[in-house]
Structure 1
Amino acid sequence: MADLDRSSDNVSADSTEQSSKVSNVEFSEDEEMLIAMVYNLVGERWSLIAGRIPGRTAEEIEKYWTSRYSTSQ
């Protein structure tokens, strides 16, 4: 039973590490400009935007956008 408790702790720690890594992803100036241009055309359709940038996921782009252009600040 104790083994099950420890394994669930590892899973939650791993997922926390992964989510913090994703938010720290660097984008090139060209990628930033492309994201802004496509966002102005299609809005918050992150999968469409990600489809225009090889190697990027919709989640990475959405986290980048919300961390950079959040209106709640």
Structure 2
Amino acid sequence: MTFVTVLRRGRLHDAIDGALAERGLRRRVIASLPPTQVVLTWHHRHDSDPAHAWLRGQVRDVLREATDGTA
């Protein structure tokens, strides 16, 4: 079986690896990608918009969680 999955930076194993191990299988890693910088941008007229500020905060929080706090 061949499939592709993306692991978060620094993570070498995840739930898929556990499920495969239970069946006596393992994943073969074929590629490693360098970290990518994520940048949030917006028009300056939204700088003081409370709803926009909230949304930016939500996006930042999700990115921090997804990148182990490095975003």
TM-score if structure 2 supplies the norm length? 0.28
- From the two aligned structures, give the one with the greater helix fraction: 1
TM (normalized to structure 1)?
0.28
